[in-house]
Amino acid sequence: MSLFPTGEDRVTVDEAARRTRDADAPAVLLDVREQREWDAGHAPGAVYAPLSGLVAGVALPDEARDRPLVVICRSGQRSQQAAELLTARGAQVVDVKGGMRAWAAAGYPVVDDRGNSGSIA
């Protein structure tokens, strides 16, 4: 049974948070931005896998393998590319409309690479 309804390929930040933020959440929030963006600020609990690596054929991190994925980037464009790529590889994927900008604007937490309050680069 699929976590994502048939035909659903994008979700709001509220839906992304609902599906990924709890310890027993059914999906993984996969951040596909580049290293400097991740270091500046990301959602707590997100898993990092830059789009450039995915395009180059790098495998998903262990925490994201065989789990439904909610893919996020800064604004929603790279996450769409990543979602298409990962779907073609057989993953169950949706991407987040508006990306980390929308996440932060909605008041969800953003932390830097040290766990302090972060920003969206």
Residues near 78 by beta carbon (within 8 Å), at least 6 away in sequence = 32, 33, 51
Gap between the Cα atoms of 74 and 89, Å rounded: 23
Active site residue 73: yes
Gap between the Cα atoms of 112 and 105, Å rounded: 16
What pLDDT is stored for residue 3 in this prediction? 55
pLDDT in tens, 6-40: 556 899 999 999 999 877 788 999 999 999 999 99
Catalytic hit among 13, 32, 73, 83: 73
Matching residue, tokens 């839906």: 15
Neighbours of 4 (CB within 10 A): 18
Separation of first and last alpha carbons in the chain: 37
Distances, alpha carbon 64 to alpha carbons 77, 90, 119, in Å: 20, 13, 24
pLDDT in tens, 53-63: 999 999 999 99
Residues near 107 by beta carbon (within 8 Å), at least 6 away in sequence = none
